[in-house]
Amino acid sequence: MKINKNALISVYDKIDLENIAKFLIKKKYTIYSTGGSSNYLKKINLPYVEISKYTKQKEILNGRVKTLHPKIFGGILAANTQEHQKELKGQKIPNFDLLIVNLYPFEETIKRKKNADEIIEMIDIGGHSLIRAAVKNYSKTLIVVDPLDYPKIIKKFPASTADRKKYAIKAMRQITKYDIAISNWFEGKNNEEYPLRYGENPQQKAVAVIDKKRFRQLSGEKRLSYNNLLDLDAAVKIAYETSSKKNICTIIKHNIPCGASIENTQIKSYTNALQGDPVSAFGGIVAFNKKINILTAKQLVKNFYEVVAAPNYDKKALEILKARKNLRILKVRKFIDKIEKRSIFAGTLIQDVDNKKSSIETICGVNKLKEEKIDFFINVLKFIKSNAIAIFNQTSLIAQSGGQTSRVDSLKYCLLKLKHKKTQKKINELYLFSDAFFPFTDSLKLIKTEKFKVSIYAPLGSINDSEIKKFVKKNKLNFFKLSDRHFKH
């Protein structure tokens, strides 16, 4: 017995629609179609059944409701079972064997339009629902969402069960991306793909999906690179996340802070940050928490940096910086992140951002640091790979080490860097921050042998905490317990 085949076409993008429609007619398919798609088929003289005539329900609400009808979804969702097919026959509903659907161009619309009402109208309802229904019943109803797939459909027809599943997966990925774009728009995000020349290395292809509302590139002939964006992530978070009326500057190299300072003046914060490690600062990323002024701009152009980021720029300062053609200048908005993601072999890791303010508890000595500086020093520490050790003077980072497999090795290297600094003779008191507890007293013994006065800020949590406290008090070391660990794995 000959079984009639039926296709439903409801598309916004009508590219190559004529080719696939003619092919389906050749294969004896009856084409059902909606509004704009019907008009297109009519113009090219191809036979079709108007959906509204079939359902006996006109499009309503200016086309907002066209395909949302049991006579359509029944034909898509019915399985090839005796029970389902008997019910369809009783209701005079045809099986829909093929759906060609693509959605309103929501992402393209938000790039071109600002009017919220116009954007709202580009949130597809019917098409989205048709796709989901076809995916649910993919073994019977083939779903095609991409005009680029029309030649594949024609060449390999009818589609195998495996191919049907591939098309269903592609359709689900499309509507998932579509839903994320809508969600981002409602949340005020403006995510778009940002082409990159390559990833961490030239042999790695890469693209960034970024929120364009977060920053604007004001100058610089080159676009940002993969590594630039990683370094910027650390730079602006350190500069922006400390709640302070003071001036903050941070310099990042290879995703690690090599300089950071909090001062009363911007120029002082910059010069202090640069002194933290002037060799590593070359070719780095610099970020400020306040509008860049002329004095700071004049000093910045004396060194080579890849990127400078700040909330804003004085007009003259911007002119000075723009004179450096290869310098990327970014205007970065204040932001608050709540979660962070990281891909792994098995999927994606998602966690809360480490932005809890840590308190301190005195174990021994007198704390001379105000809360504002503790917060800033911890923000710097958070971006040094564990086992992280960071040493500060009253305002600035002067030595750091991380990424070692033992804390004592990290401490040794940090102290070695400190000894090589010419400014060490001028240092009266230092503040050493550790991202996690000292498991043994070996690190404390090493600190004790140093000739400078140092206050230690570190979490506890080791099974040897009692020994650590005992050693600290016996040797009268200034030691303050941080309430939280700040690993960066």
CA distance 441 to 467: 7
From first to last of its 489 residues, the chain has per-residue pLDDT tens of 345 799 898 888 888 899 999 998 888 899 988 878 888 889 989 898 888 888 777 776 766 676 677 778 888 888 777 888 887 788 788 888 899 988 877 777 777 777 777 778 777 777 888 888 888 888 888 999 999 999 999 998 888 889 999 999 999 998 888 888 788 878 777 777 788 888 999 999 999 988 878 899 999 888 899 999 999 999 999 999 998 999 999 999 999 999 999 999 999 999 999 999 999 999 999 999 999 999 999 999 999 999 999 999 999 999 999 999 899 999 999 888 888 888 888 888 999 999 889 999 999 999 999 999 999 999 999 999 999 999 999 999 999 999 999 999 999 999 998 887 755 556 678 999 999 999 999 999 999 988 778 999 999 999 999 999 999 999 999 999 999 999 998
Cα dist from 162 to 158, 168, 248, 350, 395, whole Å? 11, 10, 57, 32, 63
Domains belonging to the chain, first-starting first, are: 5-186 (3.40.50.1380), 216-332 (3.40.140.20), 342-482 (3.40.140.20)
**249 DSSP β-pair partners:** 261, 288
* Predicted local distance difference test score (pLDDT) of residue 67: 67
**121 DSSP β-pair partners:** none
* Predicted local distance difference test score (pLDDT) of residue 48: 87
Residues sharing a CB contact under 8 Å with residue 476, sequence separation 6 or more, in sequence order: 364, 365
- Residues listed for the chain: 489
Residue 264 class from Cβ within 10 Å (0-12 exposed, 13-18 middle, 19+ buried)? Answer: exposed
* Predicted local distance difference test score (pLDDT) of residue 425: 55
Residues sharing a CB contact under 8 Å with residue 393, sequence separation 6 or more, in sequence order: 427, 429, 430, 431
* Predicted local distance difference test score (pLDDT) of residue 2: 46
* Predicted local distance difference test score (pLDDT) of residue 189: 72
How would you write 349-408 as a 3-class SS string? Answer: EEEECCCCCCCEEEEECCCCCCHHHHHHHHHHHCCCCCCCEEEECCCEEEEEECCCCCHH
My answer on whether omega of the bond before 439 falls inside 30° of 0, hence cis, is no
* Predicted local distance difference test score (pLDDT) of residue 470: 96
Place of tokens 């306040």: 290
Residue 152 class from Cβ within 10 Å (0-12 exposed, 13-18 middle, 19+ buried)? Answer: middle
* Predicted local distance difference test score (pLDDT) of residue 213: 81
For residues 365 and 473, the answer to whether their CB atoms sit within 8 Å is: no
Name the residue among 262, 260, 236 with its Cα closest to residue 250: 260
* Predicted local distance difference test score (pLDDT) of residue 419: 82
